[in-house]
Amino acid sequence: MRRSRLAVRTAALTTTLLFVGAVPVWSYFHHATPEAVVAAAPVSASRLPLYRWTVGEERTYHFVWNDLQRVALPVPQQGDAPQTMDGTLSLEGELTLQALEVRANGARVRLAVKRLDRHDATLSGQALFPDAAAVQAHLPQTASAWLELDARGALVAVRFSDAEPPLFRQVAQTLAAELFPTELRDAAEWSAVESTQTGEVEARFQFDGEDARLTRRRARYQSLRAAATAPAFRQTLSSLTHFDRDPEGFLAGVSHDEILDATHTDGRSLMSRRVRLRLAFSTRQQKPLPPATEDKPIVRAPSQVAFEGDEALALTTSQADGMTVDAALQVLASATDPGAIPELGTFARRAIAALKLEPHRAGELGQLFLQKGRSPAMRELMLDLLAGAGHAEAQATLRELIVSTEAREHAGAHGLMVQRAGLLREPEPETGRLLARMNTEARTAGDVGAERASAYALGAVVSRLPAGSPEVAEFLRPLEDALARADNAESLEHSLRALGNSGTERVMDLASPHLRDEAPEVRSAAAGALRTAPQEAATRMLLDALMSEPARAVQGALLDALNARTLGAPELERLSGWVVAGQLAPGAEAALLNVLTPRMDDSAAVLRMLQALSVRPGQQPATRARVMALMAQASASRGG
């Protein structure tokens, strides 16, 4: 049992952290033939290749590698606190580099870890190497990697055989990518963009001290693999690497330090990394070459993030972090209010993952829900967990519970329980049919609360159905009928919001006329409905409405809707003219800043809007501070 748990945790490490900051960007590894590595053409260089190699000579180095990472999980979480995954790696010992081939167009060097004096690795506080047996299983001294270097000495690829354990492959690949540059030129200094496992990074290289040392300073990451769903981010980066060679041109040592902190544009944590690597030459000796029949057909680029195994299982196991359904049920049974559960957000994440790992036990959560005396807040939490798990068993249990007598005991909370069905990421058609039936029954019974709750959830279900699904028209019909029947501002507002949840093309035609309604709450609801309308024309309609809208609340709704859409230079110019003309209502500044913050891409229109905001009288100190900070950011991006 211990071995199986360790294997699962190891998979989680290699996919979640180790140590590339790439939670959302795993790719399955594919075998490749040796011909996939194409070495560069020979070069005549005074400074290159970076290192000399003697065929058969094995050089031993002492190394110390400390790598700490924190990565924000790219999944929706319960509670306000962001969920992160922490990982640490601390290795110290000896590694060897043996030249197997030296050619005019490159070299092949074998890397092996021969001794580990320290081998600490943790994932969310759990040890990955709890004993010597685990180290031997995953980082055996018999394992090796082939490093393919081009004629300049730059790392082109890392190769493995099937015999190397997956964790060794990841460690060796990451270590090789830190020890050898991937961009080299025959020049005293140059700039380049390196493709690393962390992301694409701008770097400056310089030869120092009669070319005995190559210094690399990384300046800025253009992209982060951990930010695949958030291409715009902020960062603080400090990075310095020295590649040293001895008087004969052999590798003498490497010193690498990097501190990276990245956040979303709104300040939410994205990832952080602390790396310290030291490599120092120890001894050398001539060793026999491997048999000519030895081959390592698995070929990886230095920047490749490879995954071997069931990535969904690895992520879910990482998120569960040791939580079981039994443990989750025990916590839920003993708590009388969600606020009494310590670190509720973390508990919910782990409990959802546990339910995903054991889907057949969703019904046990339903039994707990139906127990007499459960508070409405606890029942809502249980539905949250089922909606988060989202598999067929969880949806079937959720459908049973939201129509139960026990759920209807709480008149004020029942609507909130029904809306949990709208949180499903992959709703089954039967879930939509249940909501449609509930909507019809509630309307017939005059239950306004249940009618609106089921409509909101039904709209959300439509938005997540596969494209072309025949159920889309079926589930939209009651929402369209409700809008047509609405005979007062309150009914129009709720009907528009429910229809807007669907995000379908029909929304634009049905909602846009209400941008001119007399009631501001209806205009705001129409703006919200157009937020995700797929047609580009919806953006123009929102801008048209904004140009003549006097009410602060409606301006805020229109700006929030525009913030969710693609705004090009023409749209930003038009928005700028409106702001500079003083049409922004007092109190709507925050909504406008939300539009501008992710669009700080050297846009003159954005800068003009910030300048106009900076001189507006009567602003809150926090708003003014935010404006000045964005102006400073815009100025820095333009070079001062």
Non-local (6+) Cβ contacts of 413 within 8 A are 376, 377, 379, 380
Taking the C-alpha atoms of residue 584 and residue 588, their distance in angstroms, rounded to an integer, is: 7
Q: How confident is the model at residue 164 (pLDDT cuts 50, 70, 90)?
A: very high
CB-CB contact of 98 with 109 (8 Å): yes
pLDDT above 90 for 215: yes
Q: Which helix (H) or strand (E) holds 224?
A: strand 213-224
Taking residues 66-79, report their average pLDDT: 68
More confident: 358 or 632: 358
Q: How high is the pLDDT of residue 514?
A: 97
Predicted TM-score of the model (pTM): 0.60
Q: Which helix (H) or strand (E) holds 245?
A: strand 233-245
* End-to-end CA gap in the chain: 60
Taking residues 117-130, report their average pLDDT: 82
Q: How high is the pLDDT of residue 210?
A: 82
Taking residues 373-388, report their average pLDDT: 96
**Considering the chain, what is the average pLDDT of its residues?**
87
Write a three-state SS string for 513-540.
HHHHCCCHHHHHHHHHHHHHCCCCHHHH
DSSP tally for the chain: helices H, then strands E:
23, 15
Look at residues 268, 356, 301, 324 and name the one whose alpha carbon lies nearest to residue 70.
268
Q: Which helix (H) or strand (E) holds 573?
A: helix 569-580
- Burial level of 616, CB count in 10 A (0-12/13-18/19+)? middle
For 90, the token pair is 């601390």
CATH 1.25.10 in the chain is located at 465-566
CATH 2.30.230.10 in the chain is located at 2-24+36-307
CB-CB contact of 174 with 197 (8 Å): yes
pLDDT above 70 for 566: yes
Q: How confident is the model at residue 310 (pLDDT cuts 50, 70, 90)?
A: low
Look at residues 230, 226, 164, 217 and name the one whose alpha carbon lies nearest to residue 199.
226
| Cα–Cα distances in angstroms (integers) from residue 556 to residues 131, 153, 404, 634, 635, in the given order | 58, 57, 39, 23, 27
Phi and psi for 107 in degrees, rounded to 5? -150, 160
CB-CB contact of 560 with 528 (8 Å): yes
Kindly report which listed range (269-283, 364-378, 420-434, 602-616) carries the lowest average pLDDT score. 602-616
Percent of residues, the chain, with pLDDT higher than 90: 71
Other CB atoms within 10 Å distance of the CB of residue 39 = 17
For 273, the token pair is 């990394």
Taking the C-alpha atoms of residue 591 and residue 549, their distance in angstroms, rounded to an integer, is: 14
pLDDT above 90 for 160: yes
Taking residues 44-69, report their average pLDDT: 90
CB-CB contact of 315 with 24 (8 Å): no
The domain over range 2-24+36-307 is classified in CATH as 2.30.230.10: yes
Kindly report which listed range (227-236, 306-315, 554-563) carries the lowest average pLDDT score. 306-315
Phi and psi for 97 in degrees, rounded to 5? -125, 120
Q: Quickly tell me which residue has 């050898």 as its tokens.
A: 180
Taking the C-alpha atoms of residue 483 and residue 499, their distance in angstroms, rounded to an integer, is: 8
Q: How confident is the model at residue 637 (pLDDT cuts 50, 70, 90)?
A: low
- Report angle CA 375, 376, 378 to the nearest 5 degrees: 65
Label the pairing between strands 106-123 and 269-286. unpaired
Taking the C-alpha atoms of residue 299 and residue 208, their distance in angstroms, rounded to an integer, is: 33
**What DSSP assignment string belongs to 160-217?**
E-TTS-HHHHHHHHHHHHHHS-S---SSSEEEEEEE-SSEEEEEEEEEETTTTEEEEE
Non-local (6+) Cβ contacts of 640 within 8 A are none
Buried b (16+ CB within 10 A) or exposed e, 420-452: bbbbbeebbeebbbbbbebbeebbeeebeebbb
Q: How high is the pLDDT of residue 256?
A: 97
**Residue 38 backbone class (left: φ over 0; alpha: ψ -120 to 50; beta: rest):** beta
Domain 465-566 fold: Leucine-rich Repeat Variant (1.25.10)
More confident: 261 or 39: 261
